């Protein structure tokens, strides 16, 4: 039986969202990831730090495939919307590129400098920029949007972009209500009322900007979402994204507590 979230101490609530503490050798894994990403960026430096907006972190790292028409994986990094950067996830490119895909990794302004609403707007702006300008960098194929943790939530918020053909949300945080009760909210400053960019989601399907399809088949409560899943049928994306190196590097985040009854989901509005 899971503990009742409302009865947990502040320390217990904070610990339930502390992924680094939950993995004994997380510091070593992070160091290895960062070193591998730095080496990959140095070896593939043709289209790095390409601005898509005016703010410091509004930049792309672009890794075009040999064929401009190849699909492009757009990967959004995680870090609870307040840490990490596009640079330290370059190591993910190698496995996807081996299947002949392009990869684009956008950065975004972190909290508290930007609100969650502003971050979502920046990701939308990044996708608009890539749709307009990608061909000039050798990227003209359909976009498959993917992200991990906070990045997976940003995937869910921007799936309705017209150039996005499929989505792969990995280990996402979709119900933000419990986060308001943790130290993470010191930077995020999530409101007690529902944001205008958020709506309640209680079912397995939504149709915002898409033909009707099952979007989040395992999505009932935040504690039931334990791993990545495709949001639209796309076998090629599943094959390319679920490479051995990717699977070893990104572990599924699984919440272990029952969330409060009053909560809301973060998904595209209709």
How far from 114 is each of 88, 123, 190, 238, CA to CA, in Å? 20, 12, 12, 32
Measure the N-to-C terminal CA separation of the chain; round to a whole number of Å.
36
pLDDT value of position 55: 97
As a whole number of angstroms, the distance between CA 51 and CA 73 comes to 18
Residue 200 has pLDDT above 70, yes or no: no
Q: Provide the token pair at 59.
A: 């930049």
**Selection from 169, 158, 145 nearest residue 116 by Cα:** 158
Domain boundaries defined on the chain: 21-249
pLDDT in tens, 17-59: 988 888 889 999 999 999 999 999 999 999 999 999 999 999 9
Neighbours of 187 (CB within 10 A): 15
**Selection from 174, 225, 189 nearest residue 82 by Cα:** 189
The mean pLDDT of 7-14, rounded to a whole number, is: 92
Q: Higher model confidence: residue 248 or residue 173?
A: 173
pLDDT value of position 176: 87
Confidence of residue 199 (pLDDT cuts 50, 70, 90): very low
The mean pLDDT of 62-88, rounded to a whole number, is: 97
Report the alpha-carbon angle 228-185-6, nearest 5: 80
**Selection from 173, 190, 182 nearest residue 78 by Cα:** 173
26-40, 99-113, 133-147, 208-222: range with lowest mean pLDDT:
208-222
Question: Residue 6 has what DSSP assignment?
Answer: G
Helix, strand, coil percentages in the chain from 3-state DSSP, rounded to 5: 35, 15, 50
Domain 21-249 falls under CATH 3.40.50.1820: yes
Cis upstream peptide for 234 (omega within 30°): no
pTM of the predicted structure, to 2 decimals: 0.76
As a whole number of angstroms, the distance between CA 142 and CA 210 comes to 15
Confidence of residue 79 (pLDDT cuts 50, 70, 90): very high
């Amino acid at each position: 039986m899971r503990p009742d979230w409302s009865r947990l101490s502040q320390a217990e609530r904070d610990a339930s969202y502390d992924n680094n503490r939950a993995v004994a050798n997380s510091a070593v894994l992070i160091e290895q990831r960062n070193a591998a990403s730095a080496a990959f960026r140095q070896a593939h430096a043709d289209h790095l730090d390409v601005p898509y907006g005016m703010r410091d972190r509004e930049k792309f790292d672009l890794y075009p495939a040999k064929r401009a028409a190849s699909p492009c994986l757009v990967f959004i990094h995680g870090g609870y919307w307040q840490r990490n950067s596009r640079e330290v996830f370059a190591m993910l490119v190698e496995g996807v590129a081996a299947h002949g895909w392009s990869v684009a990794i956008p950065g975004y302004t972190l909290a508290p400098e930007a609100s969650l609403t502003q971050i979502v707007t920046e990701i939308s702006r990044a996708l608009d920029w890539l749709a307009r300008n990608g061909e000039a960098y050798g990227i003209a194929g359909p976009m498959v949007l993917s992200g991990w943790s906070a990045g997976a939530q940003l995937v869910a918020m921007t799936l309705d972009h017209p150039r996005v053909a499929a989505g792969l949300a990995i280990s996402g945080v979709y119900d933000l209500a419990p986060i308001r009760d943790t130290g993470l909210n010191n930077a995020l400053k999530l409101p007690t009322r529902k944001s205008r960019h958020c709506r309640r989601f209680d079912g397995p399907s939504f149709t915002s900007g898409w033909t009707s399809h099952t979007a989040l088949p395992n999505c009932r409560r935040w504690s039931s979402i334990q791993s990545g899943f495709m949001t639209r049928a796309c076998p090629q994306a599943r094959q390319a994204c679920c490479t051995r190196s990717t699977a070893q590097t990104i572990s599924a985040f699984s919440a272990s507590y029952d969330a409060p009854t009053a909560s809301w989901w973060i998904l595209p509005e209709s």
